[in-house]
Structure 1
């Protein structure tokens, strides 16, 4: 059995690489998907597809349409979602993706540091599992195959 796992969360750090490397080291049969990790491409995809927009609002509006399309297609095909709430970056997209996973009935592993326990208490209760770091998330993935 192979699983497809959607990795939701900020795109500025290497946490996805850490998850992928640890899963590969354990030989877990997992394919990983996620948001566009090239920040410039993500910001400019609307203009890349439909052309120059008349201002920043419209540029963001166009880009968000295609980013949301990509996310929805990949998340619907995923068997499971891991959503990471890091310590440094704003987490709006992570919250949106984690909530979408819950709404779609996708199993959800929520990674959140201790300082976010209170802020994420409701979302954490909706997740199938809540952990504090990538190592714990990998252990949860491995348990699926044990």
Structure 2
């Protein structure tokens, strides 16, 4: 059995690479997908597809349409979603992706430090599991294959 795992979360730190590397070392039969990690491309995709927009608001609106399309398809195709909530960056997109996974009935592992317990308590209660570290998420993922 091979699983597709959507990795939701901020794109600025190396948490995805850490998880992928450790998963590979364990030889887990997993394919990872996630949001567009090239921030510049993510912000400009609307103009790449539809052409120059008249202002920053229109540019953001067109980009978000195509980013939502991409994310929706990948979450729908995923067998599992791992949503990483770090401390350094705003996490609006991560919360949206986690909520989309819940609404789609996808199993969801939330990764968040203990200090973010309170603001994420409702999402945590709706998730399949909540852990505090990437290593714990990897252990949960590994457990599926035992």
TM-score after normalising by structure 1: 0.99
CA displacement at 1:26 relative to structure 2:
0.3
Structure 2 CA distance for aligned equivalents of residues 19 and 50 of structure 1? 35
Alignment of 1:45-56 (within 5 A): 45-56=45-56
* Equivalent in the alignment of 1:118: 118
CA displacement at 1:89 relative to structure 2:
0.1
* Equivalent in the alignment of 2:18: 18
Three-state SS of the structure 2 residue aligned to 1:21 is: helix
Structure 1 segments of 4 or more deviating over 2 A? none
Deviations 1:61-110 (A, max 9, x none): 00000000000001100000000000100000000000000000000000
Corresponding position: 1:59 with 2:59? yes
Ranges in structure 2 where 5+ consecutive residues have no aligned partner: none
CA displacement at 1:112 relative to structure 2:
0.5
Structure 2 CA distance for aligned equivalents of residues 28 and 130 of structure 1? 20
* Equivalent in the alignment of 1:91: 91
* Equivalent in the alignment of 2:7: 7
Structure 2 CA distance for aligned equivalents of residues 118 and 65 of structure 1? 31
Structure 1 CA distance for aligned equivalents of residues 14 and 51 of structure 2? 31
Q: Over the residues paired in the alignment, what is the CA RMSD in angstroms?
A: 0.4
Structure 2 CA distance for aligned equivalents of residues 37 and 10 of structure 1? 9
Three-state SS of the structure 2 residue aligned to 1:119 is: helix
* Equivalent in the alignment of 1:75: 75
CA displacement at 1:127 relative to structure 2:
0.4
* Equivalent in the alignment of 1:106: 106
Ranges in structure 1 where 5+ consecutive residues have no aligned partner: none
Q: Kindly tell me the number of residue pairs found equivalent between the two proteins.
A: 146
CA displacement at 1:125 relative to structure 2:
0.4
